[in-house]
């Protein structure tokens, strides 16, 4: 064994022996410290710190001085792969994912030589204000010929114009050679109580109608004006149309803008309801207003001579026997006094009252008298003048027709002519004048009689209807803010 090469332990023993034989130089003694002796002394701690520092330095020097290998950023999916991922909702929203796209065709898909044509198309046409059915259909894409034929077919069973907002359901058939699609079927509500259906049979339409049962009952609304009368009506439950009709009715006889706080309003309208539960307000039947500082007014819609008109019901129980009556049941559109002439365009005296009414509305004599003039009279057009007692003369101008001859005697309330627009006139109206002793006066200053154009059983029926309306319980509305228009 002694002849063998020395191993590591032998080398270590030899090294220690040589070190012990060689004395340590005094200058190097501070650096070399035997950590086995004098443990905890200042020399020992200095040696330990030196050893640790040397170890850290050697460790730092042994770290590899290399950088990470460069890598290219991942590429986003493109082409078909991107479409499939987007359809599946896998890609992020910021990259444009679109859930619901069709997946790419698989091996089981067989391409078509031509895309099959849809056998029909369905569309909805909505009529606007003043629209005819023909115009609404053409705007929706129906051919002019079919739109004209469908319009004529509907008008054959529903003569009244279709209201704005009417929805027309149309089914168009297969495409013709010229590229157009004919109307195959069509349906609409011509009225709340009338449904109209059209079906094509060769080159013509078969029209079918179905009557919808409608229940109607009078509905009453009462309240007090708190500022604006319109919004007070709306807050009480009136629809925009009913509120507008009410203001129009009373506005012909009172100044609505002058009505202050506290005015009491009362109205009755017809409430309609179809079998399907659809509710729709009908016409206004009764309108009354009691100002806080003025005379009350109550109007009731009633048929007179085949035409429904507003009748002033105040004073029906005690009519005066003397005085004049208004010549026509219509609103005053121009008062007595200075004004700018609508045709001549300069200021001049307007010596009477203008009543706005439809052409053909009957005009009656304001009082008993004798016809002094009945015929054409220059700018007055067709004119009737009646002489009364006490030097009073009444004049009725711009008539469309005259019903009495000159020299005849007439009674108060007797028809003497009809409203028109003859002579120097801008539209149908009655120009009414009163002169006393040859001098024109304001007709409003003359004693007028409130007189209903009814008598006998007709007058009693009107009074009964008014009592029925006033016996109705007003509708209740939840205490909320005024509804929006």
Determine the pLDDT at residue 199.
93
Q: Please provide residue 320's backbone torsions phi and psi, each rounded to the nearest 5 degrees.
A: -75, 150
- Both tokens of 244, joined, read 């507008």
On the question of pLDDT at 36 being above 60, the answer is yes
Residue 271's beta-bridge partner residues? 217, 281
* Separation of alpha carbons 323 and 330, rounded Å: 19
Mean pLDDT within 284-304? 87
Mean pLDDT within 31-51? 78
Determine the pLDDT at residue 485.
39
Give the architecture (CATH level 2) of 214-312: Roll (3.10)
pLDDT digits over 214-226, tens only?
888 899 999 998 8
- The distance from CA 395 to its chain's CA centroid, rounded to whole angstroms, is 47
On the question of pLDDT at 396 being above 70, the answer is yes
Within the chain, what is the greatest distance between any pair of CA atoms? 177
Burial class (CB in 10 A: 0-12, 13-18, 19+), 100: exposed
Q: Assign 19 a pLDDT band (cuts: 50, 70, 90).
A: low
* Separation of alpha carbons 389 and 323, rounded Å: 11
Least confident span in 4-8, 260-264, 391-395: 4-8
pLDDT digits over 129-139, tens only?
888 899 999 99
- The distance from CA 279 to its chain's CA centroid, rounded to whole angstroms, is 17
Domains 214-312 and 324-449 share a fold: no
Least confident span in 1-5, 286-290, 306-310, 313-317: 1-5
What is the third-level CATH fold of 324-449? Glucose Permease (Domain IIA) (2.70.70)
pLDDT digits over 142-186, tens only?
999 999 999 999 998 887 888 888 899 999 998 888 888 999 999
On the question of pLDDT at 27 being above 60, the answer is no
Asked if residue 425 lies in contact with residue 399, where contact means CB atoms within 8 angstroms, the answer is: no
Nearest alpha carbon to residue 471 among 459, 483, 463: 463
- For the chain, domain boundaries: 121-211, 214-312, 324-449
Determine the pLDDT at residue 35.
74
Least confident span in 61-70, 447-456, 460-469: 447-456
Determine the pLDDT at residue 196.
92
CATH of domain 121-211: 3.10.450.350
């Amino acid at each position: 064994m002694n002849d063998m090469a020395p191993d590591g332990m032998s080398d270590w023993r030899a090294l220690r022996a040589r070190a012990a034989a060689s004395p340590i130089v005094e200058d190097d003694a501070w650096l070399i410290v035997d950590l086995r002796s004098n443990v905890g002394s200042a020399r020992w701690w200095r040696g330990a710190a030196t050893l640790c520092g040397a170890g850290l330095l050697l460790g730092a020097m042994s770290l590899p001085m290399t950088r990470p290998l460069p890598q290219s950023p991942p590429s986003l999916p493109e082409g078909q792969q991107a479409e499939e991922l987007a359809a599946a909702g896998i890609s992020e929203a910021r990259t444009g994912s679109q859930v619901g796209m069709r997946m790419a065709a698989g091996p089981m898909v067989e391409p078509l030589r031509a895309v099959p044509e849809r056998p029909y198309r369905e569309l909805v046409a909505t009529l606007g204000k003043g629209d005819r059915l023909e115009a609404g259909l053409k705007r929706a894409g129906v051919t002019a010929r079919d739109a004209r034929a469908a319009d004529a077919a509907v008008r054959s069973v529903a003569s009244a114009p279709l209201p704005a907002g009417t929805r027309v359901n149309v089914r168009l058939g297969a495409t013709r050679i010229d590229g157009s699609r004919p109307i195959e079927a069509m349906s609409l509500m011509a009225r709340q109580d009338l449904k109209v259906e059209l079906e094509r049979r060769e080159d013509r339409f078969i029209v079918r109608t179905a009557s919808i049962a409608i229940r109607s009952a009078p509905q009453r609304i009462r309240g007090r004006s708190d500022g604006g009368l319109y919004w007070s009506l709306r807050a009480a439950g009136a629809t925009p149309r009913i509120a507008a009709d009410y203001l129009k009715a009373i506005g012909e006889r009172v100044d609505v803008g002058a009505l202050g706080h506290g005015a009491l309003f009362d109205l009755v309208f017809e409430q309609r309801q179809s079998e399907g539960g659809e509710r729709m307000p009908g016409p206004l039947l009764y309108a009354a207003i009691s100002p806080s500082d003025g005379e009350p007014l109550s109007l009731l819609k009633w048929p007179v001579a085949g035409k429904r008109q507003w009748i002033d019901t105040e004073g029906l129980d005690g009519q005066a026997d003397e005085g004049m009556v208004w010549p026509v049941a219509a609103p005053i559109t121009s008062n007595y006094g200075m004004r700018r002439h609508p045709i001549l365009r300069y200021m001049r005296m307007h010596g009477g009252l203008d009543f706005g009414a439809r052409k053909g509305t009957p005009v009656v004599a304001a009082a008993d008298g004798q016809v002094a003039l009945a015929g054409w009279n220059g700018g007055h057009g067709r004119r009737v003048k009646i002489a009364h007692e006490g030097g009073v003369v009444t004049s009725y101008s711009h008539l469309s027709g005259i019903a009495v001859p000159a020299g005849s005697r007439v009674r108060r309330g007797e028809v003497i002519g009809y409203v028109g627009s003859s002579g120097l006139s801008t539209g149908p109206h009655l120009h009414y004048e009163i002169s006393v002793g040859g001098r024109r006066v304001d007709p409003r200053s003359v004693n007028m009689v409130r007189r209903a154009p009814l008598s006998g059983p007709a007058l009693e029926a009107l009074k009964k209807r008014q009592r029925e309306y006033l016996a109705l319980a007003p509708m209740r509305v939840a205490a909320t803010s005024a509804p929006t228009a």
